[in-house]
Amino acid sequence: MKKTSLSRNQIFIITIALLIAGLFQLYRTKTTSEISSHDTKPSDFNFHNSNHPTQQAALNTPQETLTKEESSTVNTSNLTLADQYKYVVFNEILVSHNDNDPRIDLEFTQFSPELHQVIIQKYNSLKPEDRSGKGLISYLISRDMKTNEDAEFLKKVFQESPCLSLENCQQFSNDQSHHSGTTATTLAYPQLAILYQIERQLQSNPEILNNASKRSHLSQILAQAESFEIPAVQNKARSIRQKYSL
C-alpha cells in the first residue's frame, strides 16, 4: 500500500495553524487574567443577557433551584412563567450574596404582587443568621412597596427580635466587639435596608406623601421601627419621621 506524505506546503500550513491556535489561547488567558486583576464596574458587562440562564431555560426548570426545605415553605405555583424566571434570577443573586449584582436593578425595580408574596415567603424560610439574604429581600420589597401586605411585612421586620451575633441570633458571641462598626450594621441589615430605602424614596420623590395610602404605610412602618431595640435603627427611623412630618 502506498504511503502518503505531507508536502512542505502542508507542513507549513499546519505549523502556522498551530501557532495561531497557541497565540489565541495565550490571548484568552491573558485577557481573563487582566479582567480579574482590576475592579470592574457592572456597566462594563451586559449581565442581563450573559450572566444568567436564558429566559426559556430558566422557565423549563424553575423548581430545580428550590431546596427540599424551601419547597415546603415557598409556593411558586401561582407565578406566571415570566415571574418564575425572575424567581430563578432572584435565587441566583441570593445564593451569590452579591448585593451589587446589576440584575437587581434590571429585573426587580418593579415586579408583580404575586412575586412579592413568594419572595416574602422566602424571607420567612431563611435562617435568622442570614442577614444578607433577609436584607436583600427587605430592600426589594421596600423599594417596590405596592400593597397592604407589603407594608405589613415591612412592619413585621421591625417586630423581630434583634440578632445578637452572626453565629447565633439568639445569643451574644464571645467577642463582644461585634456591636461596633461593620458587624453591628450587618446584624441590623434587614431593618436598616428598609429605612435607607424609605429615606431615599422620600428624598428623590417627596410627592409620594401626597398619596394618603402611601403616607399611612410609611408612617406605620417608621413608628414600628422606632420601637425596635437597636438604637441605630430607632434613631434613623425617628430622624426620617421628624424630617418628613410622619
Which residue has better confidence, 83 or 175? 83
Per-residue confidence band for 44, with pLDDT thresholds at 50, 70 and 90: very low
Please state the pTM of the whole predicted model: 0.70
Closest among 89, 177, 97 to 134, alpha carbons compared: 97
Tell me if 206 sits within 8 A of 212, measured CB to CB.
no
Portion of the chain with pLDDT greater than 70, in percent: 67
Q: What is the DSSP letter of 112?
A: -
Closest among 216, 238, 218, 217 to 227, alpha carbons compared: 238
Q: How large is the average pLDDT for residues 142-146?
A: 94
Residue 139 has pLDDT above 60, yes or no: yes
| Core vs surface per residue 154-192: b (16+ CB within 10 A) or e | bbebbeeeebbbeeebeeeeeeeebeeeeebeebbbbbb
Q: How large is the average pLDDT for residues 83-100?
A: 91
pLDDT in tens, 108-119: 988 999 999 999
Tell me if 53 sits within 8 A of 88, measured CB to CB.
yes
Residue 129 has pLDDT above 70, yes or no: yes
Q: What is the DSSP letter of 234?
A: H
pLDDT at 29 (0 to 100): 41
Using the structure block, give the residue that is written with the C-alpha cell 502556522: 16
**Hey, which of 19-23, 59-63, 88-92 has the most confident mean pLDDT?**
88-92
Tell me if 70 sits within 8 A of 125, measured CB to CB.
yes
One-letter amino acid at 230 equals I
CB atoms under 10 Å from CB of 148, counted, come to 11
One-letter amino acid at 85 equals Y
Residue 20 has pLDDT above 70, yes or no: no
Mean pLDDT of the chain: 77
Using the structure block, give the residue that is written with the C-alpha cell 415567603: 121
Residue 80 has pLDDT above 80, yes or no: yes
Q: Where are the domains of the chain?
A: 45-243
pLDDT at 183 (0 to 100): 74
pLDDT at 16 (0 to 100): 57
pLDDT at 241 (0 to 100): 96
